[in-house]
Structure 1
Amino acid sequence: MHTAEFIVSSARLTELHECSALLRHTRQRAEEIVDEARTLLSEAEQAGDGERVLELTVQLDQARRSYCQVLNAYMVISRRITTERQAILQAQMEADRHAGLTGVA
């Protein structure tokens, strides 16, 4: 791997890690929101507030859908990180092989 390609790949990997950290935080907050919505719905059901139950059921469903979207994005970023790491390692191994190194320490 040429130095410039390595720098670009490393920068891309850093950006992916930053996105992953942001999505991890967002995923945690989305989990909290789902839990809060579930609690509010449960309270409304116990209170027998039918109108509020309907509203909160819709909100809980939306919170779950949003959580799933965040979780899917997090999984995509995680796969991209793995793919990028593998590409960097493979390129380094090829460069070492071309340099006459066996890869054995």
Structure 2
Amino acid sequence: MGNSLYKQLVAQAKVLYAAEDILASARLKELYECSELLRRTRTRAEDIVLEARMMLAEAERHGDPERIVALSAQVDQARAAYDKVLDAYVTLCCRIHEEQKALLDDGLSGVA
């Protein structure tokens, strides 16, 4: 009887570990998908900053003070938006690293 109970507990523990691995893998997959979207957004935000800087440089070459003021503000806004996207991207990459480490640690502790 004790042996049968032990086997049931071991089987249930295996199922529980498998379920936890599935959930962790799904969570990690979602994080990767989010990071890909943020990576594309970050690239586009970087392009917008560069375009705004180029337009500002052109206005400065032409000596157009009104455009210079307006484009300077746009460059600042674009840079602030880029910084927010970059911060989110870095935060998400750190979270992915933590999740991977947790999966690895759990996998190693499950072996021990």
Output aligned runs, 1:22-101, within 5 Å: 22-97=37-112
Name the amino acid aligned to 1:72. Answer: D
Return 5+ residue gaps in structure 1 as ranges.
98-105
The Cα of 1:83 is off from its aligned counterpart by 0.2
Match of 1:9 among 24, 38, 41: 24
Distance in 2, matches of 1:16 and 1:76, equals 11
Matched position secondary structure for 1:2: helix
Distance in 2, matches of 1:11 and 1:34, equals 34
Return 5+ residue gaps in structure 2 as ranges.
1-15
Greater relative CO (CA pairs within 8 A, separation 6+)? 1
The Cα of 1:89 is off from its aligned counterpart by 0.4
Distance in 1, matches of 2:19 and 2:90, equals 28
Name the amino acid aligned to 1:45. Answer: E
Which of structures 1 and 2 has the bigger CA Rg? 2
Distance in 2, matches of 1:36 and 1:51, equals 18
Count how many residue pairs are aligned between Structure 1 and Structure 2.
97
The Cα of 1:82 is off from its aligned counterpart by 0.3
The Cα of 1:78 is off from its aligned counterpart by 0.2
Pick the structure with more helix per residue: 2
Cα deviation 1:60-81 (Å, max 9, x = unaligned): 0000000000000000000000
Cα deviation 1:16-65 (Å, max 9, x = unaligned): 00000001000100110000000000000111110000000000000000
